[in-house]
Structure 1
């Protein structure tokens, strides 16, 4: 059976017009396979690849929805979709690379610049899909991307821009800019962003990529600009802190010094216009949200800073973790949350248990031995999972759980206790990432202050207090050494500026909520001031 011609492939593409993205994915992928097996002349096959780019992007986007909103664990249906999307991008990159080696394509510098840019762009796209799915980038993918850029540079086409209608920011891009875009995304600590933020980070990386360069170590072009990051083009990784790389390797310094002024210009423009679309960004994000993202990206992108607020040190042992709101309260207090009563003394779980088993009231003893506490917790449905501590700092922990089927909510509230600690602390899931072996890695940022479980209710207008139930919340004590004020951690959506509430922690107090310090997936951490509440 004869292979289809370029004209027949173009006709097949026209016939797909108007059909749903995911439905046509297999047919588009088969067309890429046809190009991959083509023979000269090549000019017609390049037209096929260019024509299928836009419908393929829609089809790939439809498939990626299976893992865009939550981490894709190995072996799940979402994992299969992830590999299909990533492999399709790699096949497209290889098809462009094949055409670049074909002498029938001709010597046109603009054509070869386009082929080089497309190859780098789709190698990067394959890699970024794993980041979007909260997965470790597989071995070989950074190596393939770096090799594609190195090839473009060796042939003299790395910095020649090619038209690209799918690039909303610039309508054009060079191979070097496509490479820099991926490097910026990797530098952004991408697993710390939610799905919507990550889309914007990718768009911002594309916008700022033209202002970044890779400079040979010690070259005249370096012009004294020193950053903390460098790249070994022969390696299978992205940028790394310079002091962690082999000094004898042919390193390329990452120069992003132009971004300092560009960040200021963009932030000023966004605040004046209030339109994020001016940067080619999605309409779903506000200008103020973009400015907040720019603030978080300024240090790693514009300043090339690798420093952390708190130094890391290797972790030893394990840590207990729980992300259920009611269970968190139990592990902090040793008893389930109950509606406070003003004239009764709350009983601990140990007292309740002994009363039930012995039939009499005995001395109230706090549960401080772990096997006993775990047994009582399990009876009430509160289970902690055990995590390996990879490293830790004053600010938090990097954890790993092997064979995990547990879902940790990104930006969700958790209770955590290292094996050598006596009490639980409150933390926030800063990022999660599945490894290829199925292990789940997570970063937990600690909240400042010793947590206490409290009950909170709003002061109603025209309603009896008895009609308003208390809700569970947490009070974090002030930490003067860290210049951290006392805060309340309340359910998401409960906060209103200047809302007056009653807080019960053994006695009743009045507070006015002031502002949100941190907004999580299921909580708001807020500052407050004491007020007098009329009984």
Structure 2
């Protein structure tokens, strides 16, 4: 038995054992009768019984490969029907998911994984004892391998769509299925009836999943994830997967891929023989060229892809792809361990309140009247409507770099944050100093991942290490009560030599034309009003980053 064949038949340490009395008939030829007796009127019960049947089918010994394959195909139709019903509980549902939604997602993920296990073992069982393809029946092995790869990909997709870590076994099964298919030279062979119109071979399924993983699916909403899968399928034929050391032309756009491990791409290559290299230069080049072609215009929707059909991709998604590919290819910042706690305020309104120490209406009034009041800042907790929208959330720093933080949060406030949300970060303040001014870092949530315990792990990219509260208004509207819009000025090291930095505003409050900058300089005790024209630099979720447009 070859090593690749042995691995194909071995489901790994995470393989489940069937419960006693799973219901799957001992004689698999009676399977159709058993399926007809399932309680289809109750999807939850039917799902549970189908799951146990798949575990039994995948792990049962003494079953020929042909019989296992026929049973897997007979179960696949009913399983997909139940999946379509149960998926409504978590697809398109606001995050974080309720407990019922989490349970449904995990069950659907398990159904795909167990069905893939059954197909994988069926493929191995139809081969000879040394792993050779059967004479005149190799087509069934190709079909079983492709089917297994498809359902492992679907298991990963469900986990990513619900922003959770994939369950054990999905990556390992996908790698082992591809490794065997490669060893018998059928990884690029299409079956008679492919599982998906987007991916038709074992290799394409693997490369497609690797490309989605490299893009960091936790940084995209569910609709964008669907587009990400289609994009990855389009570029999979253009991305090479080769043994380590044999990809001289890949340049920096290479990701290491383990041959036999239960994790996604990336990591340290210890034994080159146990790693492959994925070159995704074609994908990255097209993304970079599309951004350059439109000068990074946040409002642009760009056609991306090669061949007869192009995918319409918003600029914000293209920029996130370029950021993710760059980080995967070569991290620019060394990550340091954390362990300490930060306090976080979520959203532009809350951040502006903590920076200024007053409600926005009061801030605008004082800026227009050139009034500075620096007294009794500890009274924030009782000051106006903005105070109620500015609670502080505690977060544990898991690790950090110059580019941002990876945070673990249990508080309900940040658990409900979304990708693209603006956040302010500050050191925890001693009780004796409560209410006194402090420095705030400004960041944006780039990705998040929930755990089954109700917490969330958040990736925050730093936008600025200094910030000022400001308001922006048209020059002719200085006397109108509600013309000013809330903004935060970002000040970086490069901006300190200039008069001002960049501004973050809400997407719905985007100012147009000439505006005045209203600010209270608490350090200098004076107000500031300056007119300028602003242009959009980039978009972060529901916020825009604006910069002054130079006069021509």
Structures share fold, TM-score greater than 0.5: yes
Measured in 2, the distance between the counterparts of 1:256 and 1:521 equals 26
Match in the other structure for 1:245: 269
Deviation at 1:398, TM superposition (A): 1.6
- How is 1:198-277 mapped onto 2 (pairs within 5 angstroms)? 198-218=225-245, 222=247, 228-241=254-267, 244-247=268-271, 250-257=274-281, 259=283
Measured in 1, the distance between the counterparts of 2:104 and 2:55 equals 22
Cα-to-partner distance string for 1:243-287 (whole Å, 9 max, x where unaligned): x2324762222234555677689999999x9766987989xxx73
Matching residue within 493, 497, 501 for 1:486: 501
Matching residue within 389, 392, 401 for 2:397: 389
- How is 1:282-301 mapped onto 2 (pairs within 5 angstroms)? 287-289=312-314, 293-294=317-318, 296-297=320-321
Deviation at 1:412, TM superposition (A): 0.8
Match in the other structure for 2:163: 134
Cα-to-partner distance string for 1:347-384 (whole Å, 9 max, x where unaligned): 3451685xxxxxxxxxxxxxxxxxxx889999954431
SS in 1 for 2:148: helix
- Structure 2: unaligned runs, 5 residues or longer: 1-22, 58-62, 128-132, 296-300, 430-436, 521-526
Deviation at 1:425, TM superposition (A): 1.9
Matching residue within 415, 421, 435 for 1:412: 421
CA contact (8 A) 1:214 1:255 kept: yes
Q: Does 1:519 align with 2:528?
A: no
Deviation at 1:47, TM superposition (A): 5.3
- How is 1:347-358 mapped onto 2 (pairs within 5 angstroms)? 347-348=373-374, 350=376
Match in the other structure for 2:10: none
Measured in 2, the distance between the counterparts of 1:265 and 1:8 equals 57
The number of residue pairs the alignment matches comes to 488
Judged with a 3 Å threshold, the aligned counterparts in structure 2 of structure 1 residues 412 and 267 are, in CA distance, closer, same or farther, namely closer
CA contact (8 A) 2:446 2:461 kept: yes
- How is 1:144-159 mapped onto 2 (pairs within 5 angstroms)? 144-159=173-188
Deviation at 1:44, TM superposition (A): 5.4
Judged with a 3 Å threshold, the aligned counterparts in structure 2 of structure 1 residues 212 and 109 are, in CA distance, closer, same or farther, namely farther
Measured in 2, the distance between the counterparts of 1:413 and 1:176 equals 39
Match in the other structure for 1:424: 440
Judged with a 3 Å threshold, the aligned counterparts in structure 2 of structure 1 residues 482 and 257 are, in CA distance, closer, same or farther, namely farther
Matching residue within 463, 474, 483 for 2:488: 474
Cα-to-partner distance string for 1:276-329 (whole Å, 9 max, x where unaligned): 6987989xxx7352x66456535766x896323444333352211010433322
Match in the other structure for 2:119: 96
CA contact (8 A) 1:404 1:440 kept: no
Match in the other structure for 1:364: none
Q: Does 1:124 align with 2:132?
A: no
Judged with a 3 Å threshold, the aligned counterparts in structure 2 of structure 1 residues 452 and 270 are, in CA distance, closer, same or farther, namely closer
TM-score by length of 2: 0.72
Deviation at 1:78, TM superposition (A): 2.2
SS in 2 for 1:240: coil
Q: Does 1:85 align with 2:108?
A: yes
CA contact (8 A) 1:203 1:281 kept: no
CA contact (8 A) 1:429 1:445 kept: yes
Measured in 2, the distance between the counterparts of 1:110 and 1:235 equals 28
Measured in 1, the distance between the counterparts of 2:515 and 2:385 equals 33
Measured in 2, the distance between the counterparts of 1:402 and 1:501 equals 40
- Structure 1: unaligned runs, 5 residues or longer: 354-372
Measured in 2, the distance between the counterparts of 1:266 and 1:334 equals 43
CA contact (8 A) 2:90 2:105 kept: yes
Judged with a 3 Å threshold, the aligned counterparts in structure 2 of structure 1 residues 528 and 83 are, in CA distance, closer, same or farther, namely same
Measured in 2, the distance between the counterparts of 1:310 and 1:340 equals 42
